[in-house]
Amino acid sequence: MSEHHSSDPKAEGDGAAEAPVFTPRKNGQAQGVSEELAAWMRTGWADTEIRDPEPIEQAAYTAKRRAALSARFPGERLVVPAGNLKTRSNDTEYPFRPSCDYVYLSGDLSDDGCVVLEPRPGGGHDATVYLRPRSNRENGEFWLDGHGELWSGRRHSLAESAQRLGTDTDDVRRLPEVLRDAPAAPVRILRGHDASLEELVAGVRAGGAEDGEAAAERDEELAVALHDHRLVKDEWEVAQLQRAVDATVRGFGDVAAALPEARATSERYIEGTFFLRARVEGNDVGYGTIAASGPNATTLHWMRNDGPVREGELLLLDAGVETTTLYTADITRTLPVSGRFDPVQRRVYDLVYAAQEAAIAAVAPGRPFTEYHEVAQRVLAEGLVEWGLLEGPADRVVELGLQRRYTLHGTGHMLGLDVHDCARSRTEVHLHGELRPGTVLTVEPGLYFQPDDLTVPEELRGIGVRIEDDVLVTAEGNRVLSAALPRTADDVEAWLAERLPRG
Ligand code: GLY
Ligand code: MN
Ligand code: MN
């Protein structure tokens, strides 16, 4: 009999007696468990099943996203895994983060989960989220296994999850047999997250003699379709991104106030200060914090964060809080450690700011995605020509891309569940596409003068400046989600002055 649970609130409990017998891992735990102890551990527990759990607030949105995917792949079975725990060392594991597409379609965050869209004979799909059920009391799993309830915490029961997610649920341990016994239909799986499920699907396909290369292409189409759809955020996603940004703004404020302590320690203090805010208000940081002081700011992804934070230097902080729903902000501010820019630092800062201002103005519906990048590059090129660092005219510089020696990276990217969101979407709708209302992206020009770059005057060497904001494309133009943080040099100084304890 199936342990299938419908999202119908009247559905019954998890059917503990049907679960496979638990085999303890060889960690010594199971040895020496007497019959008496095992029997006693099965009894004396209160019924803690939650009869009427609150549905997750995004349930209506996940349903719409599944419907869009269903319409894109009629008659096909679609398998989107969350992924599994990864060993960190011996018997410890990395903190788990489910695959973004699984989260997008289900709202669930469990390891080993899997969304399956099963084609209905009459058209459309039925969605089931396959999960590990709450750990079993009858077979001792709950206290003998390292992932049992008394070791790792309580998982939702299948019935609870059905109600919370607004989908049917089933035991993920049944998924192999479900996929093997399902009526013949083309199958697509999202690759890269669950090797054993991929192997299983490959086996099912081999039965249907499907060509490996064709299968890989079809799976890639599923991944691309999901990223295409994620390009335009729904209103719930925009609200999550705003939450991520707001928490990040508070984290930047914490860092400003902690600069004196950081000066006495290292960039690690900056990273740790921001991380505290991320953990308290969210799930984590959405990517490794870049806390780069002085010349370290010229390394684009400086994440070692083990350098000193010195008076007179610029601190480049690129950081983002990831919400508990896994949406991330991605914001950079370049702050004078002592509270005031010196004239050279200010000159570099002002040019990056001018590039960002121009780029933000180019973010509007119907504009090509590449336009804001080109606008920023042009402003930087013109400035560098004016300073005599590059030989003009600016047209020639831009055509040859010569400004890239000092700016290195693109001006932004999509933002969402992934910090570099929708990376697999089709070029024609993304990089060569037009901005649409609901797109969220970063605008992040920068200038980086390497400490050993003999083509720049000595006074510029070792200065790195990036200003990065998160911007929503609206029907009328855009909204800077991170507008609560100061951007002009004067505003940054005033903002620091309010926060830096003055001695
Ligand atoms: N934090 C990485 C980036 O700005 O893209
Ligand atoms: Mn960034
Ligand atoms: Mn970015």
pLDDT in tens, 454-488: 999 999 999 999 999 999 999 999 999 999 999 99
Q: Choose which residue among 352, 409, 468, 470 to substitute to test ligand 1 binding: the one with the highest number of ligand atoms within 8 A of its C-beta.
A: 468
pLDDT computed for residue 4 by the predictor: 62
Look at 16-25, 324-333, 364-373, 423-432 and tell me which has the smallest mean pLDDT. Answer: 16-25
Atom of ligand 1 nearest to the CA of 318: 1
Please tell me the predicted confidence (pLDDT) of residue 208. 67
Rounded Cα–Cα distance for residues 261 and 309 (Å) = 9
pLDDT tops 90 at residue 15: no
**Atom of ligand 1 lying closest to residue 330 CA:** 1
In this model, does residue 494 exceed pLDDT 50? yes
Going from the Cα of 228 to the center of ligand 1, the distance in angstroms, rounded, reads: 21
Query: pLDDT category, 263, cuts 50, 70, 90?
Result: confident
CA 478–ligand 3 middle distance (angstroms):
17
Determine the distance separating the centroid of ligand 3 and the alpha carbon of 450, expressed in angstroms. 20
Shortest-distance atom of ligand 1 to CA 420 = 5
Ligand 1 and 330: CB distance under 6 A? yes
pLDDT of 17:
39
Percent of the chain topping pLDDT 90: 87
pLDDT of 212 reads 85
Cβ of residue 318 lying under 6 Å from some atom of ligand 1: yes
Contact assessment for residue 471 and residue 439, using Cβ atoms and an 8 Å cutoff: no
Q: Check pocket membership of 410 for ligand 1, CB cut-off 6 A.
A: no
Model pTM? 0.94
Point out the ligand 1 atom lying closest to the alpha carbon of residue 320: 1
pLDDT of res. 265: 86
DSSP state of 225: H
Q: Which atom belonging to ligand 1 lies closest to the Cα atom of 301?
A: 2
Q: Is beta strand 187-189 parallel, antiparallel or unpaired with respect to 478-480?
A: unpaired
pLDDT of residue 7: 56
Q: Cα(417) to centroid of ligand 1, in Å? A: 14
Cα 444 from Cα 62, distance rounded (Å)? 31
Asked if residue 444 has its Cβ within 6 Å of ligand 1, the reply is: yes
391-405 pLDDT, tens digit each: 999 999 999 999 999
The pLDDT confidence band at residue 262, using thresholds 50, 70 and 90, is confident
Which ligand does the CA of 331 lie closest to? 2
**Which helix or strand (DSSP H or E) is residue 244 part of?**
helix 235-264
DSSP 414: B
Q: 133: CA distance to ligand 3 center in Å? A: 38
Distance of CA 454 to the CA centre of its chain: 38
| Ligand 1 atom having least distance to the Cα of 412 | 5
Cβ density class 247-281: b for 16+ within 10 Å, e for less = bbbbbbbebbebbeebbeebbbbbbbbbbebbeeb
Residue written as token pair 């002081």: 293
The pLDDT value given to residue 31: 57
Mean pLDDT rounded to a whole number for the chain: 93
Q: Whose CA is nearest to atom 4 of ligand 1?
A: 330
Place of tokens 């992934």: 418
**What pLDDT does 67 receive?**
98
Q: Give residue 25's pLDDT band: very low, low, confident or very high (50, 70, 90).
A: very low
pLDDT tens by residue, 50-60: 999 999 999 99
Residue 9 has pLDDT above 90, yes or no: no
Report residues near ion ligand 3: CB below 5 Å.
Answer: 330, 442
- The 10s digit of each residue's pLDDT in 123-172 is 999 999 999 999 988 889 999 998 999 999 999 999 999 999 999 999 99
Q: How far is the CA of 318 from the centre of ligand 2 (A)?
A: 5
Test site for ligand 1: of 331, 333, 409, 419, most ligand atoms within 8 A of the Cβ: 419
**Atom of ligand 1 at shortest range from CA of 466:** 4
Ligand 1 test: best mutation among 245, 299, 331, 332, most atoms within 8 Å of CB? 332
Amino acid identity at 35 = E
The residue whose C-alpha atom lies closest to atom 3 belonging to ligand 1 is 330
**Any atom of ligand 1 within 6 Å of the Cβ of 468:** yes
Q: How far is the CA of 171 from the centre of ligand 3 (A)?
A: 38
**Helices (H), ranges, 23-174:** 35-41, 59-72, 100-106, 141-144, 149-152, 158-165
- Nearest ligand, CA 303: 1
The DSSP code for 120 is P
Query: What pLDDT shows up at residue 20?
Result: 42
Q: Which atom of ligand 1 is nearest to the CA of 332?
A: 4
Cα of 123 to ligand 3 centre, how many Å?
41
Distance (angstroms) between ligand 3 centre and the Cα of 331 equals: 7
Structure tokens, 499? 């926060």
Pocket test for ligand 1, best of 248, 305, 318, 467 (most atoms within 8 A of CB): 318
| pLDDT in the model for residue 503 | 53
Q: Ligand 2 centroid to 301 CA: how many Å?
A: 9
pLDDT at 13 over 80: no
Ligand having the closest approach to the CA of 287: 1
Q: With a 6 A CB cut-off, is 287 part of the ligand 1 pocket?
A: yes
Cβ(259)–Cβ(492) below 8 Å: no
Please check the confidence at residue 1 and state whether its pLDDT lies above 50: no
Label residue 77 by pLDDT band (50, 70, 90). very high
Per-residue pLDDT tens for 88-97? Answer: 999 899 999 9
d(CA 302, ligand 1 centre) in Å: 11
